[in-house]
Amino acid sequence: MHMNPFLVATFGGVLIGLSAIVLMAALGSIAGVSGIAGSLISGGVSGRAWRMAFLLGLLAGPTILWLVFGDSGIGVPQVGLPWMALAGLLVGVGTGIGGGCTSGHGVCGVARLSRRSLLATAVFMVCGVFTVYVIRHLLGGL
């Protein structure tokens, strides 16, 4: 079965939006993955149980797709282990001090037209594009 990839991508985005609406309507919270996971690590917040449940659902989602349709949609890493380790550290520190990631700033914050989130999203997009440009077109790949 061939479906337009852009239609499928848009539908995926709509599901993410529904996820954010459900979390706000039921628990009054932004669906920001770095915020939800980070607050579990820094500790001291109430609502640990539902945060764990949200992350569990996120983790289980693709596996359920695999069980039902035979395809989890999970792709393979594109860079070696040391680069993966460095990338993880930068993403963790960056989203930790910047107060959000692609979901918290990029989806929920932009949807609220938050000035901070619009700026953060522009900055991480530009830095991501710049990094890929340097790696692929100046260095010739990692």
Partner 1 sequence: MKIMTALMSGLLFGWGLSLGGMTQPAVVLGFLDIFGRWDPRLAFVMGGAVATTALGYRWVLRRPQPLFEDCFRVPSLRHIDGRLIGGAALFGIGWGIAGYCPGPALASLGGGSLSVAVLLATMILGWWLAARLLPAQRNLVQPASKDHRRTS
Please report, as residue ranges, which positions from 62 to 101 form the binding site for partner 1 (by CB under 8 A). Answer: 62-66, 72-81, 83-99, 101
> Is residue 48 at the binding interface for partner 1, with CB under 8 A as the rule?
no
Tell me the C-alpha to C-alpha distance, in Å, between residue 135 and each of 93, 94, 132: 21, 20, 5
* CA 96 from centre of chain: 13
Binding-site member from 1, 6, 70, 139 for partner 1 (CB under 8 A): 6
> Is residue 10 at the binding interface for partner 1, with CB under 8 A as the rule?
yes
> Is residue 1 at the binding interface for partner 1, with CB under 8 A as the rule?
no
Binding-site member from 1, 2, 16, 140 for partner 1 (CB under 8 A): 16
Q: Which residues, in sequence order, are CB contacts of 48 under 8 Å at separation 6+?
A: 40
Pairwise CA distance, residues 1 & 88, whole Å: 36
Interface pattern 99-128 for partner 1 (x via CB under 8 A): x-xxx-xxxxxxxxxxxx--xxx-xxxxxx
